[in-house]
Amino acid sequence: MSNTRTNQEWLRDLSASGAAQEAAIADLRALLLRAALYFFSRNLGDFKRLARDEVLRCAEDCAQDALMAVMDHLPDFRGDSKFSTWAYKFAINMALRTARRERWKNISLDELIASSDGNFFQRLTEDNSSGIAPERTVMQAEVQRIIQEVIEHDLTEKQRQVLVLMVLHEVPLDEVVRHLGTNRNAVYKMLHDARRRLKSGLMRHGLEVDEMLTLFRSST
């Protein structure tokens, strides 16, 4: 039935009661489970530490969470696409979160931060081009020294951690939130403030961001 319902029938049945709603919910959950399993099958590397039944359990959890989200957002559906396509995205988002969580579960964020001490900007602006003019190399080294100094002296410890994790290592926001024991808004603000202070510190030393990026851009 899940493949034959129209948008209006999905909304009618999911908003009903009794057997009609139960059947619609069962069909919707099956659709969401297929979506989660499909996403997992394309990202098996994130689940290499899990047994097959554990992966299935993760997919079932994603489907259940997506089902609750879809039910909560039923009034938001405007019919611009097929209902199944709209609902499918909820499952994919849940599966994406789960995959990211598994990817970072056994990685120590403290070790990532520690391993980046003293070489944050060098890694961000690594120039692999050969034959760089000596004067350009000297300028790069001086700019790296200034930026490292700004990061160490103008940013708070939490701002440095957020900058290292999210900009250098591309750690997902939710993992940074978990690691710092805070909330998404607080992490957003820390990252915004870190970038603002970094830019201000560069300008104080007479450096413009565009000029800095040009200096480290590989020449071809």
Give the pLDDT score at 195.
86
Closest CA to 144 of 72, 54, 205: 205
Give the pLDDT score at 217.
54
Give the pLDDT score at 135.
64
Give the pLDDT score at 171.
81
Q: What is the pLDDT along the chain (220 residues), one digit of tens a residue?
A: 555 889 999 999 999 989 999 999 999 999 999 999 999 988 888 787 788 888 899 999 999 999 999 999 999 999 889 999 999 999 999 998 888 777 776 666 676 666 665 555 555 445 444 445 566 667 777 777 787 888 888 889 898 888 888 877 778 788 888 888 899 999 999 999 988 888 888 888 777 766 665 655 544 4
Give the pLDDT score at 42.
87
**The CATH fold of domain 109-216:** Arc Repressor Mutant, subunit A (1.10.10)
3-state secondary structure of 103: helix
User: Could you tell me the residue ranges of all domains in the chain?
Assistant: 7-104, 109-216
Give the pLDDT score at 10.
95
Give the pLDDT score at 128.
45
Give the pLDDT score at 211.
63
Give the pLDDT score at 2.
52
- Total-model pTM: 0.56
Closest CA to 37 of 10, 8, 4, 66: 66
Alpha helices (H) along the chain = 7-14, 19-41, 52-72, 83-104, 109-116, 120-124, 134-154, 157-163, 173-180, 184-204, 209-216
Instruction: Tell me if domain 7-104 and domain 109-216 are identical in fold.
Output: no
Q: How far apart are CA 198 and CA 121, in angstroms?
A: 11
Structure token pair of residue 83: 């209902």
Q: Which CATH class is domain 7-104?
A: mainly alpha
3-state secondary structure of 41: helix
Question: Cβ distance 158 to 165 under 8 Å?
Answer: no
Give the pLDDT score at 148.
80
